Amino acid sequence: MRILVVTVVHHPEDARILHREIAALRQHGHRVVYAAPFAAREVAPRPYVEGIDLPRAAGRDRRSALRAARALLAERGPQADVVLLHDPELLLALPGTLRRWRRDGHAPVTVWDVHEDTAAALVMKRWLPRPLRPPLRLAVRAAERLAERQLRLLLAEDAYQRRFRRPHPVVANLATVPPEPPEPPGDERVVYLGHLSRARGAPELIETARLLTPDFRVEVIGGADPDMRGPLTEADREGVLRWHGYLPNDRALALLSGSVAGLSLLRDQANYRHSRPTKAVEYMAHGVPVVTTPTPLAAELIERYGCGLVVPYEDPATAAQAVRHLRADRQLRRRAASRGWEAALSDLNWADRATEFVMCLESWAKEASASRTTAGRSTSPAGTAPAGSRPGPRS
């Protein structure tokens, strides 16, 4: 198949988009064109995909990104068998584009990969004026219902099914798990992997690191919201923690193994109550005990697999105490690490689901190709090719 993957919001090195989904498509022989904000994020496309640079949609500045995305979809969409969209913002670029594709008889299968509860996430957008948040939540729900009628949907969490009227395939955020047991957890390093924002507990992370200094080395990996960059830079300068900034997924994961604990200090936000923190699964996959706040799916991981400790929301003192407890109890630390890795390998391994993801897109493309063929036969003289016909998806 020819797949056009588009994002104007996510980092081009996003683990779900590049390291899981695009990697799986390529492993099955499909050709990928990847449109993302490469220049804005100061990264180059990987050599194994055709990269197209788009403006980045950030804060209130989204119009230029949407104009560029609309132009890209108009030009490159008809050349694709599947268009895979990763941002709800891109739904705004579709109405006229879909009509044009269908009128011209070159409509690709268009898929929206639903990463989060967009309406619930609006309350965390500090750039969005508070009075606008309630009406925008209603608008987002209406857009989701319209998208369900017009597009194919993939969901990142089972719980997202409740937002839609029909069932849709779930492509969960799982980890690529090393097949061999990782390095046992040590007793000096603590890690954090993921984006840094107030809602994700960045202030608590900094204070937890301060309480652990100088007995531990706290390594923080991830980009940050503008209001958190100053505090993180200052904490790094003071030696409270080491902030690496954003690192490509493969480089970031290499820093996990051997840590005494991995921190996930999400605050109690609606968008997190039915989402499993990907960082927690990554910690498990690399043999790192998890210290997490009690978001329901994170706490369920700890309870089911015994892979770490749960601490209260917005409580750095207890988080620091949990890290010290793991270091003091070597048996607990190693048991949590081994149970986490075993659970990730058996139950949370992307390698076991990658083929299902690819087969889902393949089946939709084949269905669309068959529909075009049937429609063409019904409108063409016997023995002639239907007008506007083109080859079906290649695999």
Say if CB 104 and CB 75 are below 8 A apart: no
Long-range contacts of 99-103 (CB under 8 A, 24+ apart): 100/74, 101/77
Phi, psi of 351 (to 5 degrees): -60, -30
Burial of 31 (C-beta count, 10 Å sphere; 0-12/13-18/19+): middle
Same domain, residue pair 91 and 129: yes
Domain contains 23? yes
Same domain, residue pair 157 and 235: no
Same domain, residue pair 21 and 114: yes
Q: Is residue 291 over pLDDT 60?
A: yes
Same domain, residue pair 339 and 363: no
* Interatomic CA distance for residues 78 and 109, integer angstroms: 10
Domain contains 209? yes
Domain contains 178? no
* Domain CATH code at residue 214: 3.40.50.2000
pLDDT of residue 264: 98
SS3 (DSSP) at 308: strand
Measuring CA to CA, which residue among 64, 20, 22 is closest to residue 39? 64
Q: Is residue 55 over pLDDT 80?
A: yes
Alpha carbon distances (Å) from 207 to 131, 196, 284: 32, 14, 24
| CA 175 to mean position of chain CA atoms | 11
pLDDT of residue 387: 37
Domain contains 179? no
Q: Which of 55-59, 128-132, 185-189 has the lowest mean pLDDT?
A: 128-132
pLDDT of residue 137: 67
* Interatomic CA distance for residues 200 and 207, integer angstroms: 14
Confidence of residue 376 (pLDDT cuts 50, 70, 90): low
Confidence of residue 385 (pLDDT cuts 50, 70, 90): very low
Same domain, residue pair 68 and 96: yes
User: ω before 391 within 30° of 0 (cis)?
Assistant: no
- Structural domain tally of the chain? 2
Domain contains 385? no
Same domain, residue pair 264 and 338: yes
Residues with Cβ within 8 Å of residue 98, at least 6 apart in sequence: 107, 110, 150
Domain contains 72? yes
pLDDT of residue 142: 75
Same domain, residue pair 13 and 144: yes
pLDDT of residue 336: 98
Domain contains 390? no
Q: Which domain range does residue 34 map to?
A: 2-172+354-379
Neighbouring C-beta atoms of residue 186, cutoff 10 Å: 12
Q: Which residue in the block uniquely carries the two structure tokens 């490469």?
A: 38
Average pLDDT over residues 76-97: 92
Same domain, residue pair 216 and 86: no
Domain contains 107? yes
* Percentage, residues of the chain above pLDDT 70: 89
pLDDT of residue 103: 87
Same domain, residue pair 267 and 365: no
pLDDT in tens, 128-183: 667 766 666 677 777 788 889 999 999 999 989 988 999 999 999 999 999 899 99
pLDDT in tens, 188-243: 999 999 999 999 999 999 999 999 999 999 999 999 999 999 999 999 999 999 99
Say if CB 339 and CB 306 are below 8 A apart: yes
The radius of gyration computed from the CA coordinates of the chain, to the nearest angstrom, equals 22
Beta-bridge mates of residue 217: 189
Averaged pLDDT of the chain? 90
Same domain, residue pair 300 and 367: no
What's the whole-model pTM score?
0.87
Same domain, residue pair 67 and 24: yes
Same domain, residue pair 145 and 59: yes
